[in-house]
């Protein structure tokens, strides 16, 4: 019996190039949190490089746990794991509230360790929510994942720094557009292996085209060391403060919610639906990776949604390809010069490729919604309201500005709020006293009209 495509081992060259493509797609997302937190603390350039390399190293270890797995740990799906952006706000809040900035990272690391261990224990209970994720819920959440990520691509397309004079310039937007066109042309007019690595080729071509415009910076390569190891507890032994621990536990719940949605999304895309056992194993990998990460000076880890789009687009479903990507992440953590090569790719070029990647995630969600019986009024309402709730943080970023900071950790995540809304509405409409409504067909989302038959159509005609 042939192996499922998820368990397929591809030829070495194909494994290496497609694995590198995954790294290129998620690199900016991994390095952004340590850069933001490190800048808030006031780390030197050397320490900031160290922190970034540590996060790449721990992302690689977490990816190994998720893709290869040990015991009951790891979803064994093609998931890339990395630093969750949900933790940036509470981590910078910890920095702001710490008088001696040298204590900030140890306090953050201590909170992440505790939150990771608690999440590991809660994983099997959290996974039991799988029965509350039918296609109407998963399709909505997958669509929201894509929609939520698109603004990231648009931000990249404008440039690396909003305060810069060239932010949103014609040059930056032009480079993003050229990269997008290159990827589309490769996807349309090539076949086989070249078609599958279209994103990677687009990133390389876009970077080369950007050189004459002075957008490509090779400085990081020249300044980087060849070898470096993330020394355990380089910034000091972990410290445990209740307020920081509570805030990171909230982030862990948000991260587990998003990872559950990501696993369901990827399960649909690779045609190996994620069941309760898979989700529990995947959450164990996320949480254990998070608990171990601070030992090597890394932050909380979670599954990266942007790489789901890459799997959907390339149709390469092998988890071993992503494991190779994890190997590249470990290598970059141990070799700062290797890490700096990815950093050379200009942000606008990443933005152009990101439009394809993140749009593919949204398209996958729409494909799932096709199977969600949207001819039923209850399901239409579930999708309509959940999408609206999830889009609030994107369309109106300051909508929840009057809420407490801890509440905003959840509310400012459209994926989390949309997921919670979809689950609750599905419970109300399809589980709690909803059986009588299950067979109702509608012509309008606000009307629960009778079933439309050929006879009724004929009777209605003048």
Min mean pLDDT across 48-52, 82-86, 409-413 is at 409-413
Nearest-angstrom CA–CA distance, 152 and 258: 17
DSSP 359-371: HHHHHHHHHHHHT
DSSP 432: S
Q: pTM of the full predicted structure?
A: 0.67
pLDDT grade for 446, boundaries at 50, 70 and 90? very low
> What is the rounded average pLDDT of the residues 208-237?
80
Calculate what percentage of the chain has a pLDDT beyond 90: 15
Answer for the pair 20, 200: CB distance below 8 angstroms, yes or no: yes
Closest by alpha carbon to 53, among 371, 297, 346? 297
Answer for the pair 254, 409: CB distance below 8 angstroms, yes or no: yes
Nearest-angstrom CA–CA distance, 139 and 300: 27
> What is the rounded average pLDDT of the residues 224-253?
81
User: What residue ranges in 94-140 does DSSP mark as E strands?
Assistant: none
Which token pair is 282? 């995947």
pLDDT grade for 269, boundaries at 50, 70 and 90? confident
* Count of Cβ atoms closer than 10 Å to residue 168 Cβ: 15
Nearest-angstrom CA–CA distance, 234 and 216: 31
Helix (H) / strand (E) element for 204: namely helix 198-210
Answer for the pair 349, 191: CB distance below 8 angstroms, yes or no: no
Task: Report pLDDT digits (tens) over 278-335.
Answer: 899 999 999 999 999 999 988 988 887 767 777 887 788 888 988 998 898 888 888 8
Between these two residues, 210 and 377, which has the higher pLDDT value?
A: 210
Which token pair is 18? 């497609």
Most confident of 90-94, 142-146, 324-328: 324-328
Look at residue 193 in the predicted model and tell me its pLDDT: 67
């Amino acid at each position: 019996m042939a192996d499922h495509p998820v368990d397929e081992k591809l030829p070495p060259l194909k494994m290496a190039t497609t694995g590198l493509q995954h790294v290129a797609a998620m690199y900016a997302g991994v390095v952004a949190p340590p850069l933001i937190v490190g800048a808030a603390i006031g780390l030197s350039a050397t320490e900031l490089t160290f922190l970034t390399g540590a996060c790449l190293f721990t992302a690689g270890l977490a990816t190994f746990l998720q893709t290869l797995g040990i015991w009951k740990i790891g979803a064994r799906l093609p998931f890339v794991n990395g630093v969750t952006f949900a933790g940036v706000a509470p981590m910078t809040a910890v920095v702001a509230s710490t008088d001696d900035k040298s204590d900030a990272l140890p306090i953050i690391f201590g909170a992440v360790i505790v939150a990771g261990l608690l999440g590991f224990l809660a994983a099997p209970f959290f996974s039991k929510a799988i029965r509350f994720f039918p296609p109407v819920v998963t399709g909505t959440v997958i669509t929201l994942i894509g929609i939520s990520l698109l603004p990231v691509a648009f931000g990249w397309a404008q440039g690396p720094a909003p305060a810069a004079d060239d932010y949103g310039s014609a040059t930056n937007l032009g480079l993003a557009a050229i990269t997008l066109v290159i990827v589309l042309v490769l996807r349309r007019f090539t076949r086989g292996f070249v078609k599958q690595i279209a994103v990677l080729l687009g990133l390389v071509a876009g970077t080369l085209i950007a050189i004459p415009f002075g957008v490509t910076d090779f400085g990081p390569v020249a300044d980087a060391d060849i070898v470096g190891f993330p020394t355990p507890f380089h910034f000091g032994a972990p410290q445990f403060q209740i307020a920081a621990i509570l805030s990171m536990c909230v982030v862990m719940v948000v991260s587990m919610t998003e990872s559950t949605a990501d696993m369901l999304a990827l399960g649909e895309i690779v045609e190996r639906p994620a069941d309760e056992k898979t989700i529990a194993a995947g959450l164990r990998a996320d949480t254990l990776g998070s608990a171990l990460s601070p030992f090597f000076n890394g932050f909380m880890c979670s599954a990266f949604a942007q790489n789901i789009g890459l799997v959907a687009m390339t149709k390469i479903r092998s988890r071993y390809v992503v494991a190779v990507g994890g190997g590249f992440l470990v290598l970059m953590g141990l070799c700062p010069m290797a890490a700096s090569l990815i950093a050379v790719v200009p942000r606008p070029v990443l933005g152009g490729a990101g439009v394809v990647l993140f749009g593919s995630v949204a398209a996958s969600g729409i494909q799932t919604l096709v199977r969600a019986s949207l001819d039923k009024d209850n399901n239409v309402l579930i999708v309509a309201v959940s999408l609206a709730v999830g889009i609030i943080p994107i369309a109106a970023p300051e909508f929840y500005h009057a809420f407490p900071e801890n509440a905003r950790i959840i509310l400012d995540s459209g994926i989390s709020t949309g997921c919670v809304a979809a689950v609750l509405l599905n419970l109300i409409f399809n589980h709690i006293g909803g059986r009588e409504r299950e067979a109702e067909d509608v012509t309008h989302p606000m009307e629960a009209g009778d079933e439309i038959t050929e006879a009724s159509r004929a009777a209605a005609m003048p």
